[in-house]
A and B are shown apart, each in its own frame.
Chain A
Amino acid sequence: MKLSKPQLIVNGKRIDGRGPQDLRQIKIEVGVLKNADGSALVEIGGTKVLAAVYGPREVVPRHQEQVDRAIIRCRYRMLSFSTLGERKSPAPTRREIELSKVIREALEPAVLSMQFPRAAIDIFVEVINADGGTRTAGITAASVALADAGIPMLDLVTAVAVGKVDGVIVLDLNEIEDMYGEADMPIAAMPSLKRITMIQLNGVLTPDEFKKALALALEGIDKIYQLQKEALRKKYVEIEE
């Protein structure tokens, strides 16, 4: 039994006042780091994630290189003070190791790695502040950073979580909803191509609820996708002028 589960839906409103199908406030900034080839900072509600991309560049150590494609390397991690409660040890946790893989595999289908044989594209996702949806914010940020680095892609990758709290299917869960809800399902997609590149389900859904949740996620993804494009345009249009 979890300690004192709060009521998550009151009069159809969520704990932070949103309706079930609302996203939190989103801010996307492009090119926030000088040294990285591409970078982006994504804020979604209380979650704040920085992504940096280096490459295509030489592979060190050399034995990792592949003759027919660029390798993508990805590291997701949470800063030691990014979570509520105790300090997180900076040593990589099993969760971080899994999420590094999941984020890489969410981005791989979009990147045209065959154009850069023997090269590496490095993606670093750093969670500065965690309030639910850090992996999805990380994917959203990383794909903008990849575009900022000028890496050819089929499409951006956009991610958002859906879930079930107090029996209601909701979009973009925050930390409390994730912790006490019945299900949490992060999804990433290439919105123009309608290709789903990541899906995880942590919790229980009936097949019908799943269908509804997936549709809601794809709607949310379309909205975030517009913000990603806007952020990229803003940076590059300003430079041209």
Chain B
Amino acid sequence: MSLTPEIPVIPKIKLDSILNVVSKGFHIDKRPLLNYRSIEVNKNVAPNADSSVLVKLGHTQVLVGIKIDVGQPFPDNPEEGVLIVNAEYIPAASPSFEPGPPDENAIELARVIDRSLRESKAIALNKLVIIPGKKVWIIWLDIYVLDHDGNLLDASMIGSMLALAQLKIPYFEVDPVTGNVKVDKSKRITSLPINRYIATVTVYKIGDVLLVDPTAEEEAIASASLSISVSEEGNIVGMQKRGLGFFLEKEIEQAIEISLNKGKELIELVKKFAL
């Protein structure tokens, strides 16, 4: 069952001072409301993974890794490869995270990322077919939150997009008699075919102010958030409202404008990192 989460006590005590700073147009770390914190990426941090990226967004750290395998396609999509996204909030990342299977927040995050990637056709799954209807590439994209200082979804999307862009498909041979696929991961020639880059921009509402990229403290007192995934063509490719509060129609329009602008910046940045 899904139940109302408890607001941690420290941000609750600091509520007035955070509201005060935010109403003046700044984050508590003195950034303007619509600026992201510094974004840093380390590539190939887990060499055994087929692709891995560590994203640091301020003090938030998210590790994204990919394993690619040969497997069967879904029966309703026999001529497409498979993408499976999973996310885990490890207990090392925050005193409020507990060990155990992914909770509703982790599941929601993974599903929002999955839907945005899938619906935007960001990766060309139709080019990941080895034997139509029988053998396709399966991409396991796993997101681990290592340190939680707010805005996990945006950081996770940056990491996911970058990890996918880094992914090289291993060399393989199909045995003409048995139809078995032999994979040699020591040789990699082709990159994963990417149709378009996307980014997720989450707009948070604190009081009646809209902002992006809050720290964990700010996030804890935000009444609601709206995550908007945008493509490089400027389309909206996914959306999810989260939190106990609400948005007015006007605020949603503002949030979309913000995410189209910020999304463009994030996509440029991810493309630069991908080089």
Chain A 189-235 interface residues, beta-carbon cutoff 8 Å to B: 190, 194-207, 210-211, 214, 218
Are B235 and A97 in contact (CB-based, < 8 A)? no
Q: Tell me whether A24 is interfacial, beta carbon within 8 Å.
A: no
- Give Cα A121–Cα B102 distance, bound, in whole angstroms: 24
Q: Tell me whether B80 is interfacial, beta carbon within 8 Å.
A: yes
- Give Cα A70–Cα B240 distance, bound, in whole angstroms: 25
Are B231 and A204 in contact (CB-based, < 8 A)? yes
The interface-forming segment of A31-39, A72-80, A144-152 is A72-80
B80: chain A residues at CB < 8 Å are 1
- Give Cα A73–Cα B6 distance, bound, in whole angstroms: 13
- Give Cα A88–Cα B236 distance, bound, in whole angstroms: 32
Number of interface residues of A (CB under 8 A): 47
Q: Tell me whether A16 is interfacial, beta carbon within 8 Å.
A: no
B108: chain A residues at CB < 8 Å are 98, 101-102
Are A207 and B107 in contact (CB-based, < 8 A)? no
- Give Cα A213–Cα B80 distance, bound, in whole angstroms: 30
Are A190 and B236 in contact (CB-based, < 8 A)? no
Counting chain B residues whose Cβ lies within 8 A of the other chain, the interface size class is 35 or more
Q: Which chain A residue has the least Cβ–Cβ distance from B126?
A: A1
Q: Tell me whether A7 is interfacial, beta carbon within 8 Å.
A: no
Q: Tell me whether B248 is interfacial, beta carbon within 8 Å.
A: yes
Residue-wise interface mask of B (241-275) relative to A, using a CB-CB cutoff of 8 A (1 in contact, 0 not): 11111111100110010001000000000000000
- Give Cα A95–Cα B260 distance, bound, in whole angstroms: 28
The interface-forming segment of A104-112, A129-137, A169-177 is A104-112
- Give Cα A113–Cα B245 distance, bound, in whole angstroms: 13
Are A108 and B241 in contact (CB-based, < 8 A)? no
Jot down 12 A-B pairs with beta carbons below 8 A, ordered by A.
A1-B79, A94-B110, A101-B104, A105-B242, A185-B239, A196-B241, A198-B241, A201-B240, A202-B115, A205-B235, A210-B236, A218-B249
7 A-B pairs with least C-beta separation: A201-B239, A195-B246, A100-B2, A71-B4, A101-B2, A109-B246, A73-B3
Taking A104-B2, A196-B246 as known contacts, 9 extra A-B pairs with beta carbons closer than 8 A to each other, sorted by chain A number, are A73-B2, A74-B1, A94-B107, A97-B104, A102-B108, A197-B241, A199-B247, A200-B241, A204-B119
